[in-house]
Structure 1
């Protein structure tokens, strides 16, 4: 209990200061500044989720602030409706707009995504300024104050508590979300969609959902802004404001929820001071603070790309917030396939990239409880074959069938998330982990499909912490799999701090969390020392004894020959041999193509 109170002491002190600020004889200017910091931080929080965590850059959040502000302003001034009805209307309008815009924009990648956000931000800005019923560029005046429990919030001092309570609720909800099953899926977006999809995450839909959530935060900020200012015009909702919101998130630390408040406070105070000092210093009026912000952004990207919050965190290192329980209700598990049943069937699979045939009419099968090795020289097409089986790449021709629900079913053409749902899990040739997340959380991503909520209800439950029982079961499963592979002592270490060999074992634990009946391992022994390879072999034999079917690609021939039941050899995309390891060792074509020729 004492440790808990010490841990939350800075937060308690921060809230106490906020609570006293309007009560004390604080200058009105300070209250106004604090109100704007709170408004900006609500928008920046959405950008932490969207950009810092999800890896999706947006310059257009100011337009969603405008949607929230104009919705309540129009309804309250033209129809005399309550600001609370205006809030609901703004959230509704923003949801529809964000779904429509996000459904198009979130499909973009690279530099096209930020360019897309700039385009729709400009469109909405000019829409606000050209619509007659919104007052064009003069805007709307006479917006009424918010009435809360009979209290008229008709001044900045009275609005202070409402702004900051909403901000702190949003911050707590976002922290709850990020420490949950859907939160781990969102964080996995930043590591590339291939790994997330392989763990069952619908990345396209998750991107749209977090885009909508960030837009709703901006809309709430706009609602508060309209009733604080009591009049609005299009100017605060333009592209410049959108860039400033993004700058606030980046300066504070785009990957950290408290970074949103830090960045908003720093930039708001700095902007106010620069607007006073620079004209006096330079002897002329103008928006000189924009130049300073540009220079600061360049320096920040060079020296502190993660923002300033990580430096403050180092002053008081915190223990992991996500911890595995000692016990929990076991998750439902699939029953393994009957012995001798064909689990995976590759039937004349072909993959062409233009004129290059990477996989040429490959045919082989994997039986239940069998370890099959797929070997061949570099560039033979082994990893491409893995990607075809797991849906990362589409087949050009042929078929791939997997035994699910006791019958072979065609899986070629299905996306990765639907293939893993049938019981195929994989690791990667080049390790794909979230390096800043703990070992435990990385493995828990593998249990994404084993949660009881869909994406929408899962996010809602996570925000309100209604998912505690589910989280307990998922984290316990992750702990169990880590102990199973021998990494139970590293639960709370950052995954990026592990040695390469440990990271590969970590990927196996993550794949096991998917509850597969077929495990695909892409060079699992690469980077492992001799003793680690022996421990891996013991683990794979144990999995085989439990009924797991395993297909692996590996270059260590001693490891493969002593472990596998069956071998398939590829060269230039084609199968050149297949059979028992002892027979493959004597095969002339294999010796010539792969093992370096025949001894004279």
Structure 2
């Protein structure tokens, strides 16, 4: 059975219906699984105080408190890929803010909590603006310094109680009832943690989560699809601080006192261990890790003094370090990864049926993905003027100028090291030019970030594959719809307002997968695809942006003959739909057979620009490719199509 999918211009293509149904079914099963998981969590939280001893319920209270901070850290590390050793600093800001408002200004608990959490988030915003320009261990060290600063500031401030801290914070009171026992406080916190986990899960599975997961896999590719990586990382950093601040509020009401130890390094290590042990790949891991670490904490309190007489907190911290190291070495995915692997072994893979879906053969000239508002064919779309890039004393590209018009295929060829990819990188914003300008439409984009290039309806593929390896084929293409959807952090967290947008994204993704012959692989991990299919995936993902300008960097590399023929047909149909395509390819004859105009680079200089026939007979081009003198009477051989057959007049 087949289903028909329709391109934006009304062109219909066919794909295997079973693959489309499988994709929808998996999304449906995922939702049912989530509902079951949240139902089990609610049952556990309700029953735990009834079944456990009072001492264990007390451990559970700390697990819920710290679990809130761990949820935020899991979002930051697992989703945004940013390592933070300063989560305790925002925890302390929330705790101190709540204590000051309650004890010194008699602000009611709920308004005080809102203000305290806001203080933590504002602090994260101010700190994140400079710090999130750092990467890797530099960011980790910088956030570690933040915790030290908060600790020293609290210790030296008389207003904050110096080393004694602030005490006298009452237990919460609602409806005339005081929540002062472990069981009552556990039940009070349980709905808060449940809601926090639900909001975090919604963020991870929505538009923002897809974008940040893509950034974690390949920041350059995500930027070229319109993802403003710095802005999103800053948003997650601030949100993570909000979770930590809320945990600090819950902590100070349970303990009744807050002192500088709330911002110390061991607590940050404990939050880190919770996230890593539970599994950074899932927000569920934060809650699982919180309970696991608190139980481990209780065990270490008893075990370490037995093994090392007189040992106290610092030696216990060594125990945490040993466990953290063991988890990273032997179970890098944490408890969540172990559970996922166990389920994968228990499930039998569904037998493959049929052949991979392929786009229905259409005439080369039939328009594809045409849309209203696209520039008129022949209108200048990309203007490159005197583009130059120097690396130290080496000039990779020197004074290159050319235009690309709407509705044409423009070839950019040259020997190895000629500067073709460097040109692409400067045009797309991956590299800033040393001199020259790039205009896309009426917008000057040279020196701007790649997401600005994408916002101007342009994108690219890469010579070295930049797929998002941690997600599926469907997930990769969905990231390409980032600029064609608008759900932000709040809408993503609430889920319901973004649900209609998500359905539209899935419909668009299914259409593109069918058009590019990837429908049968929709739910496979992108990393599991053969190399040629990954090339096709990059193109499908780029088309999801609905670009007016598409830069393709060696798209035929690694493709079979049949795949190359399908790609040539696809590019011709995209050109007929009004899209401008710039093609870098080592297969010179394939470019000459396909392109309307060709530019030739050699050693960073533009040596020829014209039609394929003009370029084929240009003496400078012959010298560059064949190593002959300019005055020798030679021409490049007749153009060939992508599958190696000689091109006839109609093909060219």
1:188 to 214, 217, 220: 214
8 Å Cα contact 1:155/1:228 also seen in 2: no
1:413 to 447, 453, 470: 447
Q: Structure 1 stretch 221-230 or stretch 420-429: which is displaced more?
A: 420-429
Task: Quote the residue 1:430 is aligned against.
Answer: 464
Q: Report whether the alignment pairs 1:293 with 2:320.
A: yes
Structure 1 residues 206-250: Cα deviation after superposition (integer angstroms, max 9, x where no partner): 111111000000011011111111122221321111122112111
248, 256, 263: which one pairs with 1:237? 263
- Mapping for residues 276-291 of structure 1, pairs under 5 Å: 276-287=302-313, 288-291=315-318
CA distance in structure 1 between the aligned counterparts of 2:218 and 2:470, rounded to whole angstroms? 14
Deviation at 1:473, TM superposition (A): 1.7
The answer as to whether partners of 1:349 and 1:399 remain within 8 angstroms in 2 is yes
1:462 aligns with 2:500: no
Contact 2:79 2:212 (8 Å CA) reproduced: yes
State the 1:192 CA deviation. Answer: 3.8
Residue number in structure 2 paired with 1:211: 237
Shift of 1:354: 2.4
- Is 1:265 matched with 2:303? no
Cα pair 1:143 1:230 within 8 Å, conserved: yes
Name the TM-score, length of structure 1 as normaliser: 0.92
- Does structure 1 conserve the Cα–Cα contact (< 8 Å) formed by 2:281 and 2:337? no
Which of these residues, 277, 282, 286, is aligned with residue 256 of structure 1?
282
The partner residue of 1:94 within 98, 117, 120 is 120
Once residues 595 and 509 of structure 1 are traced to their aligned partners in structure 2, the CA distance between those partners, rounded to angstroms, is 35
Structure 1 residues 353 and 7, CA gap change in structure 2 (3 angstroms): closer
What is the DSSP-based 3-state SS (H/G/I as helix, E as strand, rest coil) of the residue aligned with 1:284? coil
Residue among 596, 599, 618 paired with 1:568: 599
One of 419, 436, 447 as aligned partner of 1:398: 436
**Taking structure 1 as reference, are residues 469 and 153 closer, same or farther at Cα in structure 2, changes over 3 Å only?**
same
Deviation at 1:596, TM superposition (A): 6.0
1:458-489 alpha-carbon deviations (Å, 9 max, x no partner) = 10011011211122222222222222211122
Shift of 1:397: 2.1
Aligned mates of 2:309, 2:379 — CA distance in 1: 85
Measured against aligned partners, the alpha-carbon deviations of 1:548-576 in whole angstroms (never above 9, x if no partner) come to 11001111234223221221111111112
Residue 584 (structure 1) shift? 2.8
1:11-52 CA-partner distances (Å, limit 9, x unpaired): 43342132122234x311010011111111111111111111
| In 2: Cα distance, 1:378 partner to 1:42 partner | 53
CA separation of 1:417 and 1:244: change in aligned 2, threshold 3 A: same
- Aligned: 1:20 with 2:47: yes
Which of 359, 371, 378 matches 2:409? 371
For 1:582 and 1:179, how far apart are their aligned partners in 2? 51
TM-score between both structures, scaled by the size of structure 2: 0.85
Count of paired positions: 580
After TM superposition, give the deviation of residue 591 of structure 1 in Å: 3.0
Q: Is the 8 A contact 1:252 1:264 kept in 2?
A: yes
Using the alignment, how far apart are the partners of 1:470 and 1:149 within structure 2? 40
Residue 61 of structure 1 deviates from its aligned partner by 0.5
Do the aligned partners of 1:334 and 1:517 also contact (CA within 8 Å) in 2? no
After TM superposition, the structure 1 stretch with the greater mean CA deviation from structure 2, 444-453 or 10-19, is 10-19
State the alpha-carbon separation in 2 of the partners of residues 447 and 6 from structure 1: 26
Please state how far the C-alpha of 1:9 moved relative to its aligned partner: 4.2
* 1:375-419: CA deviation from partner (whole Å, max 9, x where unpaired): 11221111111111112222222222222xxxx443323322222
Farther-moved stretch of structure 1 (6-15 vs 223-232): 6-15
8 A Cα contact 1:334 1:515, kept in partner: no
The answer on 1:359 being equivalent to 2:391 is: no
Tell me if structure 2 keeps the 8 A contact 1:442–1:510: yes
Give the aligned partner of residue 519 of structure 1: 550
Distance in structure 1 (CA, Å) of the matches to 2:108 and 2:408: 68
Distance of 2:392 and 2:489 partners within structure 1: 41
Cα 1:143/1:333, change in 2 over 3 Å? farther
Structure 1 residues 108 and 409 mapped into 2: Cα distance closer, same or farther (>3 Å)?
A: closer
User: Is 1:388 matched up with 2:418?
Assistant: no
| CA shift in 2, pair 1:50/1:439, >3 Å | same
1:490 corresponds, among 496, 521, 535, to 521
Structure 1 unaligned spans of 5+ = 320-330
Correspondence for 1:179: 205
- For residues 101 and 323 of structure 2, the distance between their equivalents in structure 1, rounded to whole angstroms, comes to 40
The question of 1:537 aligning with 2:568 is answered yes
**Preserved CA contact (<8 Å) 2:148 2:263:** no
| Structure 2, unpaired ranges of 5+ | 1-24, 349-368, 636-652
1:229 and 1:334, CA in 2 relative to 1: closer, same or farther beyond 3 A? farther
In 2 relative to 1, CA 333–28 (structure 1 residues): closer, same or farther, beyond 3 Å?
farther
- Once the 2 structures are TM-superposed, how far is the Cα of residue 298 of structure 1 from its aligned partner? 2.5
Aligned to 2:646: none
Aligned to 1:324: none
1:452 and 1:284, CA in 2 relative to 1: closer, same or farther beyond 3 A? closer
Q: Does the 8 Å CA contact 2:304/2:316 hold for their aligned counterparts?
A: yes
Residue 374 of structure 2: aligned partner: 336
- Which of 480, 487, 494 aligns to 1:446? It is 480
- What does the per-residue CA deviation read over 1:480-539, in whole Å, with 9 as the maximum and x for residues that have no partner? 222221112222111111112111111111111111111111111111111111111111
SS of residue matched to 2:166: coil
What SS does the corresponding residue of 2:212 show, helix, strand or coil? Answer: helix
* Distance verdict in 2 for CA 1:27–1:285, change over 3 Å: same
